[in-house]
Structures are given as C-alpha cells and as structure tokens.
Structure 1
Amino acid sequence: MKKRPQFLRVAGKGRKVATPGMVVQILPDDTATETRVGFTVTKKVGNSVIRNRTRRRLREALRLVAREDGLPSGDFVLIGRDKTRERDFSLLKDDLRQALRKGLGVNFRESPRGPSGKGRDQAK
C-alpha cells in the first residue's frame, strides 16, 4: 500500500493491536486475492536514516514471518515505534506473530494462504 486513503481505510475499519515493538492494524478480507501491506514510521522515531532502518526491520520481520507461517488475505499496516529499531529481532518477530494472532482472532498459522497468496503447497 502506498496511498494515504488506503492507510486511512485500514485505520478506520480495521483492528489495531499494540505490542512493545510495533503497532499492527489489520483489516482481514476473505474475498481478496492478495495480501497488501503498508509500513509507516513517524518523525517522532527519529531522522530519515533511523526511520528507514526501522521500516527495513519491520519489512524483514514480516517477510520471515510470512514465509514461515503464511499470511491471510487482507490489508495490514505495520507502524514502527521507538523500540522497533533496538528490539532484539527474534522478539520483534514474536511481537508480529502475537499481533497477527490477536488481531485476526484465530491462529493465523492455519491459514491456507502462503506469503504469495497461493496455497501453502504452491508457495514453496
């Protein structure tokens, strides 16, 4: 996701889950054929170098969690916090898993979709 109205739609209609390492906004959509993800880090976190590093850490955590556990279709916004850039990476991934589990209301690992939006068997 890149456009502001897309982010606002997820913020307005979706669920928000806060963890020590990030805030995740989730708008599940079973009819969608793809998973859309947006990343945002405010200027409160730091200068552009720090914000970009924080965004890269979020992107990598999501990539690894999606590869290991899969992601259901829908829209997701990951919001970086001050602690995101300094938090141990394994804890950051655990924060993301916890937020997804809590926000989706189910064990997202049981989702039939893999990170590519295809079935798990097809994604490998």
Structure 2
Amino acid sequence: MTPPGAGVAGKEPEATDMPPAVSLRPQVLKKRADFLRASRARCQGTPGFVLQARERALGEAEGIRVGFTCSRKVGNAVARNRAKRRLREVARLVLPAQGQPGWDYVLIGRRDITATRDFAQMQADLTRALATVHGGRK
C-alpha cells in the first residue's frame, strides 16, 4: 500500500507538491536583553494588548522576531497562559502578512482583557498597531 500523496513509480513530483523551502513562521524572542531593547523602542497601546516594536541594526538576525509577555497582574497562571496563547495565535496570523523583516515585536498582555477580548478585534488591533508603528517610520 502506498501512502497518500506518493508519486507513481517513475514520475517525479511536481513543484507544487513540494513543501515551501522557507518557513514564514517568526522566530521567538527568548533572551531578556532582546525584550529590554524592544522596551526602549516604539510602543503602541491597543485595547487588547501593548505592542513594542524595534527595528534591528544591520548584521543582526534576519526575518521577523516576536516575543510575548504577561505579568502576574494579568491574573493567575491559567489566565496568563490563556492570554499568551491568544497573543501567539494573533501574531501567527497577522505578522507574516503585516510585519516587516528586520523588526522585533513584543506583545504584552493586559489585565482582564487579553484573555477575554473578541479574537477578531484582537487581530484588528494588531493590524492597526503595526500600521501605526510602521507608518511613523521616516
């Protein structure tokens, strides 16, 4: 039995059958120094979260990088984890299309709002915040 999607013997797979060579998934910020650099850069508040954005210098990592944080003010561990999951999903959906390579983004959850705000509104918030951050670019 051949697995689904397997080519017929003697036939090469077509270019459309191959997975993309480059992933559009942003890298995740993990080092405290990266978060501190982003905190000193541009900041845009939205009803659902705060966006911090920093354009990296030449020679630093390529592509889009993103970090997520929720302080204990957001709530207990369950509320913080839910808020971060929602922020990760919003970033996964919006940043590949709206984000710019060479930038670091940090999404900071807000108390009682990030975990409960309508998801479509959070996507719109991120799109609007990115436009504001990049629109102010000279």
Q: What is the deviation of 1:34?
A: 1.6
- Bigger Cα Rg: 2
TM score, norm. by length of structure 2 = 0.70
Q: Following superposition of structure 1 onto structure 2, how do residues 41-80 of structure 1 map, counting pairs within 5 Å?
A: 41-67=70-96, 69-72=97-100, 73-80=102-109
Q: For 1:76 and 1:90, how far apart are their aligned partners in 2? A: 20
Q: Tell me, what secondary structure is at the counterpart of 1:34? A: coil
| More helix per residue | 1
Q: How many correspondences in the alignment?
A: 105
Pair 1:105-2:132 in alignment? no
* Cα distance between partner residues in 2 of 1:78 and 1:66: 11
| Equivalent residue, structure 2, for 1:96 | 126
Percent of aligned pairs with the same amino acid: 46
Match of 2:23 in 1: none
Quote how far apart the aligned CAs of 1:71 are: 1.9
| TM-fit CA distance, 1:3 | 1.4
RMSD: 1.8
Q: Is 1:11 matched up with 2:58? A: no
Larger RCO of the pair (alpha carbons < 8 Å, separation 6+): 1
Gaps of 5+ in 2: 1-28
Code of the residue aligned with 1:86 in structure 2: it is: T
Q: In 2, are the aligned partners of 1:30 and 1:74 still within 8 Å (CA)?
A: no
- What displacement does 1:29 show? 3.4
